[in-house]
Amino acid sequence: MAASAFEKRMRDGVAAGRLKSDELKNNFNDVHPPLDGHEALVASDRCYFCYDAPCVTACPTAIDIPQFIREISTGNTVGAAETILEQNILGGMCARVCPTETLCEQACVRELAEGKPVQIGLLQRFATDEVMTQNKQFFERKPTTGKSIAVVGAGPTGLACAHRLSMHGHNVTIYEARKKPGGLNEFGIAAYKTVDNFAQKEVDYVTAIGGINIKYNEPIGPNLNLDKLRKDHDAVFLGMGLSGVNALGLKGKEPEGVMDAVDFIAQLRQTKNKGKIAIGRRIVVIGGGMTAVDCAVQAKLLGAEEVTICYRRGQSQMNASRYEQELAATHGVIIRDWLQPQKLKTKSGAVSGITLEYTHTEKKKLVGTGETITLEADQVFRAIGQTLGDENSDVLENELKLDHGRIATREDGATSLDDVWAGGDCTNMGDDLTVTAVAQGRDAAESITKYLNA
C-alpha cells in the first residue's frame, strides 16, 4: 500500500509544510477566545467584590480587581479599563499572558470555596480590548520638565517605565536592540497567546501619550555603553531583558538541529507564513518553564509527530504553571521528569537523538543515578534559562554590581549607581513574567522622578 502524504511528511526529518495552511490557521487561533458582552456580565456577577480582596494582593501590579469587575457589571467598561491601566499600562497583554491561575485567580475566594475562580484575566481583556479598539486615552503628559531619561529596551518593563516617566513630563529616549519594539511580548510569547499583531498595537497605544522616542538597532555595546548614556541623559533605566541562552553543558560542538527555544518562538512570531518553518518529526525540548511549553506546543501545532519535554527535576517543581503543563498535555506533548542531558547523538553532522540521565535528590542536591535513556530526535531545543549575554555582561559588569549574573537592584529598581535604575528579567528581581516587569518599570519611573525632583 502506498504511503499517505502525511506518512511521507513524517519521514522527511526536519521539513517545512507538514500541515496545510487552513490547518495551521486553525492551530494558531487565539487560545483564549475573548468574552462577549453577555459572557462578561455573567462572569462579573460571580465576584464577591471583597473589601480586603486577596486577588489584589496576588497581582504584582496591584490592580483594584473588585473595582474594575464591579464597573464591568454596571456596564461601565471604559471605567473598568481606566482602573486597570492606572496600575498596569500593559493590562491588555497581561490579560492574555499572565499566569492568572497562579496569581489573582488562585487567590480568588471563589477558587478557595468552589474550585472555580472568577475569570479575572478574561474580564481584564474584555475591558482593555474595548478602549484599545476605541483608542481612548486616559493619561496626559504634565508640562515638560526638560529632563531626559534613557530607557534601554522597548520590552514590557521599558515601555511601562517610559509611559510613567512621560506622564510626569520627562522626555524619554528608548534604545532598542531589535528593529521592532515589544521585547518579550513581541518575540518571546507563543503565537497562539497573542494574535492579530496585538503586541504592536499595544506599543502604539502606550507611546501615544507622547514624549517617547524609540531608536531601533541600538544595542548596549561599544557604541552605546553605560558611560555614554549617563553623560547624555539625566537618568538611565536598564530593561534590556536577557539576550543569552544557557548551553546544554555537553562536551563538543553542538550539531545542526540543536536550537534555542527563544529563537524558535521569535521566528514563529515574526513569520507571516508558518508553513515555511521547518520542523522535525521528533522533537525534544530541554527545560521546565513557560518557554519550554510554548516551544513544545508550537512544535506540535506545526505538525511534529512526537514532542517530549525533559526536565531535570520533578514535574511539581517545573516553573511552568499547572495550567501550562495541562495545555501541553492536551496538545499531545509528553512531559518526562527527572532527566538531564548527557550526550547528543548525531548522523551526518545533524542531531539524531539525545541520551539523558535519570536524576534524583540527595540531601537537597540534584545528582545523577547513572541510568540513562536515549530518545530519537530530529531537533533538540534548549529552554534552560537565559542570561544577560556576553555583550551586555562585558559592558555592565565593570560599572554595575551584578548578582548571579544579573543586575542587582533594590525594590524601587535603583542600582549601585545613583543615576541608574533597572527592571525586568535583566535584574535579580525579575521572574520571567510580563506583569512583574511592568510593575518594576512603573515603580522605577516613580523613583527616578523623585530623584530628579530632589
pLDDT tens track, the chain, 454 positions: 344 444 444 456 899 999 999 999 999 999 888 999 999 999 999 999 998 999 999 999 999 999 999 999 999 999 999 999 999 999 999 999 999 999 999 999 999 999 999 999 999 999 999 999 999 999 999 999 999 999 999 999 999 999 999 999 999 999 999 999 999 999 999 999 999 999 999 999 999 999 999 999 999 887 888 999 999 999 999 999 988 788 888 887 889 999 999 999 999 999 989 999 999 999 999 999 999 999 999 999 999 999 999 999 999 999 999 999 999 999 999 999 999 999 999 998 999 999 999 999 998 899 999 999 999 999 999 999 888 876 666 667 678 898 888 999 999 999 999 999 999 999 999 888 999 999 999 999 999 999 999 8
pLDDT of residue 244: 79
pLDDT of residue 10: 42
The dihedral region occupied by 197, where left means phi > 0, alpha psi between -120 and 50, and beta the remainder, is: left
* Other beta carbons within 10 Å of 419: 16
Long-range contacts of 81-87 (CB under 8 A, 24+ apart): 81/127, 81/128, 81/130, 81/131, 81/136, 81/138, 82/131, 82/138, 84/124, 84/127, 84/128, 85/128, 85/131, 85/138, 85/139, 86/138, 87/61, 87/62, 87/63, 87/442
pLDDT of residue 391: 64
pLDDT of residue 223: 82
pLDDT of residue 3: 47
Q: Are 169 and 144 in contact (CB under 8 A)?
A: yes
The total number of residues written for the chain in this structure: 454
pLDDT of residue 5: 47
The letter for the amino acid at 147 is K
pLDDT of residue 394: 64
With CA atoms as reference, report the closest residue to 118 among 78, 65, 159.
65
The pTM of this model reads 0.93
pLDDT of residue 37: 96
Q: Which residues pair with 386 in a beta bridge?
A: 245
Q: Are 301 and 27 in contact (CB under 8 A)?
A: yes
Q: Helices 198-207 and 156-167: crossing angle, nearest 10°? A: 20
- Domains annotated on the chain, with CATH: 37-134 (1.10.1060.10), 148-243+388-453 (3.50.50.60), 246-385 (3.50.50.60)
Element containing residue 152 per DSSP (H, E) = strand 148-152
